[in-house]
């Protein structure tokens, strides 16, 4: 009886430990995926003037040029070097980052005709839209148990609406005691029948966002959307990541 109990106890402790270590690792992996989307968005923002220039035709902003800047930005942000060749890596973490990188490249390559159009200023090639299209491609390519999405409680695009899990994390971001900027993740027992890890990295309003999401509330922005009247520093969205829980 005593032996049985202590065995059960040992198993219990071991189980908890394995679970705890696993969760830290899953959090790290999810964060690295979210950060790569942050880099993809940032490089579009940095090149927004070039993209919107109506005077220049060929801008030289090809998919390859774009992702070389993304890789550099990401390295500065995380210290990690990523490459397209990681696509054939047996390390699933590296592979996921490569799939995301290549998805971003493909999106910008698909936009070449728009980007290089002379005489047109605003082309709707903006971080939010490039980010959404990149996330779609990545999600489709990675398959079951993976997804990536930009979401907000007050979404513009219905495709970005938060699900129950995402809504619950948005509430946690607003709780007192929550450490600003920190991602929140959790093991979810069943998502379409799969055990997964879900993670959200909050997004805050910066001065560059106000042109479209700031004041005057209710007026149209350059993209044709309705300005929300957000203020600098407010948490107004998140990057949502899902990865499969590794099978033993
Ligand atoms: C040029 C206008 C413009 C700028 C600048 C801009 N956004 Fe957006 N944002 C949009 C549009 C348009 C969408 C809807 C994109 C889509 O169709 O998925 C959007 C969507 C989003 C979403 C996804 C949820 C939703 O509303 O559908 C978030 C989060 C977001 N923006 C945050 C930001 C932040 C943070 C910044 C600044 C760093 C920013 N945006 C800058 C136009 C803009």
Q: Per residue in 98-124, pLDDT tens?
A: 999 999 999 999 999 999 999 999 999
> Ligand 1: which residue has its CA nearest to atom 5?
209
Residue spans per domain, the chain: 2-244
Cβ of 205 closer than 6 Å to ligand 1, yes or no, is yes
Ligand 1 centre from 239 Cα, in Å? 12
Tens of pLDDT, residues 189-198: 999 999 999 9
Model pTM score: 0.91
Write out the two tokens for 247: 């099978």
Regarding the beta carbon of 126 and ligand 1, being less than 6 Å apart is answered yes
Centre of ligand 1 from the C-alpha of residue 49, in Å: 17
Pocket test for ligand 1, best of 47, 128, 155 (most atoms within 8 A of CB): 128
Q: Answer whether 209 contacts ligand 1 (Cβ < 6 A).
A: yes
Q: Is the pLDDT of residue 10 over 60?
A: no
HEC profile of the chain: CHHHHHHHHHHHHHHHHHHHHHHHHHHHHHHHHHHHHHHHHHHHHHCHHHHHCCCCCCCCCCHHHHHHHHHHHHHHHHCCCCCHHHHHCCCHHHHHHHHHHHHHHHHHHHCHHHHCCCCCCCCCCCHHHHHHHHHHHHHHHHCCCCEEEEECCCCCCHHHCCCHHHHHHHHHHHCCCCCCCCCEEEEEEEECCEEEEEEEEEEECCHHHHHHHCCCCCCECCCCCECCCCCCCCEEEEEEEEEECCCC
pLDDT at site 122: 96
Residue 62: pLDDT over 90: yes
pLDDT the model gives residue 248:
65
Among protein residues, the one with the nearest Cα to ligand 1's atom 25 is 155
Nearest one of 175, 176, 165, 189 to 238, comparing CA atoms: 165
Atom number of ligand 1 nearest to Cα 225 = 12
Please state the rounded mean pLDDT for residues 66-90: 97
């Amino acid at each position: 009886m005593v032996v049985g109990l202590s065995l059960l106890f040992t198993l219990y402790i071991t189980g908890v430990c394995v679970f705890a270590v696993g969760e830290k690792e899953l959090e790290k992996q999810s964060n690295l995926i979210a950060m790569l989307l942050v880099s993809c968005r940032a490089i579009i923002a940095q090149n927004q003037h070039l993209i919107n220039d109506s005077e220049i035709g060929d801008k030289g902003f090809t998919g390859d040029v774009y992702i070389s800047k993304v890789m550099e930005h990401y390295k500065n942000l995380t210290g990690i070097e990523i490459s397209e060749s990681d696509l054939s890596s047996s390390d699933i973490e590296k592979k996921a980052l490569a799939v995301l990188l290549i998805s971003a490249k493909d999106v910008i390559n698909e936009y070449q005709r728009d980007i290089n159009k002379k005489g047109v200023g605003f082309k709707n090639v903006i971080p939010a839209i490039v980010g959404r299209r990149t996330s779609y491609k990545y999600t489709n390519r990675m398959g079951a148990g993976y997804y990536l999405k930009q979401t907000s409680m007050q979404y513009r695009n219905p495709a970005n609406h938060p699900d129950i899990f995402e809504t619950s994390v948005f509430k946690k971001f607003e709780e007192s005691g929550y450490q600003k900027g920190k991602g929140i993740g959790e093991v979810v027992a069943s998502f379409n029948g799969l055990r997964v890890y879900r993670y959200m990295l909050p997004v805050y309003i910066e001065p560059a966002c106000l042109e479209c999401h700031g004041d005057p509330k209710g007026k149209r922005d350059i993209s044709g959307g309705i300005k929300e009247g957000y203020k600098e520093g407010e948490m107004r969205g998140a990057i949502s990541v899902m990865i499969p829980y590794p099978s033993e």
